[in-house]
Amino acid sequence: MASTHQLKVQDIFSVKDYVCLVTGGGTGIGLMATQALAANGAKVYITGRRMEVLENAAKSHSPEEGGGQIIPIGPCDVTSKSDLEKLVKNLASKEKYLNLLVTNAGISGPKAPPDSASADELHDKIWQNESVEDWDSVLKTNVTSVYFSTVAFLPLLQASIGGKFAPRSPSVIVISSMSGIMRDSQGHFAYNAAKGATIHLSKLMSAEFEKAEVRVNSIAPGYFPSEMTMKESDDSNKTHMPAEKVQEKGHVPANRPGSDEEMAQAVIFLCKNMYVNGELIAVDGGVLNQVPGR
């Protein structure tokens, strides 16, 4: 049993000396996760396709003295097994273990709003604006890469168990989306279908990789500012999303986008709580109370 003084936030949510890896860690939600972990003492490696973005993230957001570190590693195309193998080898040359993997890399894909009652119009809009190649790309990036990224790092994750690392529990946090739960396509059939698959994949991995003592949980974000949603980032790789943009959607009770702090809370919780496995946390401002889901 714990004494009261042992339940201080700075103690129960500290990730001091943890070694973490965040894919797509240079912008958006990946960068939010990176900052949260580094601010609380972790050594956080970030990877992605654009090395200059990773380097700028580390330069702009590395914590002050007393915090952890943000270290660019890569670049890496997480849809490539050979790139993943190189990334594992590179990280293994620097670290003996990995406490946390955050699989965040993703793309939005094509958009074709099904906003007509005419089957002919629906056919024409979707047929002309989407392709098999688009779907393949979205599924490969948002689902397949999550699976192979996790499998690639299983040995390093398991290596963090026991010894001086106890009572730590290695884990994976899969960044999915509220879009994978709702029945509203939002015009993004490929993206929403992929995120639905990502959510189920995280549950499959949580059960099957339990044997290896690696936990897998998922975060389903709502509207958060990111380069993917706003199509741009500032000089520090950050993005602004006006509250009005969220309010005009009409189904967000919070009436604003999510904040960096709110995403940070979810990431740290799933990283530290060793009694949570196979769960999905929606951080969506109440959207799923308003939009039909499964």
Are the beta carbons of 148 and 163 closer than 8 angstroms? no
Q: How far apart are CA 269 and CA 219, in angstroms?
A: 11
Of the residues 149, 177, 195, 202, only one is catalytic, namely: 195
Active site residue 231: no
Active site residue 185: no
- At residue 187 the predicted structure's pLDDT band, cuts being 50, 70 and 90, is confident
Share of the chain above pLDDT 90, in %: 81
Q: How far apart are CA 76 and CA 79, in angstroms?
A: 9
- Of residues 173, 204, 180, 178, the one with CA closest to residue 194: 180
Of the residues 171, 191, 206, 272, only one is catalytic, namely: 191
Active site residue 176: yes
Of the residues 149, 160, 169, 176, only one is catalytic, namely: 176
For the domain spanning 15-289, the CATH number is 3.40.50.720
- At residue 64 the predicted structure's pLDDT band, cuts being 50, 70 and 90, is confident
CA dihedral (228, 230, 231, 233) positive or negative: negative
Instruction: Give the predicted TM-score (pTM) of the model.
Output: 0.95
> Tens digits of per-residue pLDDT, 236-258?
888 888 899 999 999 999 999 99
Residue 199 clears pLDDT 80, i.e. is over it: yes
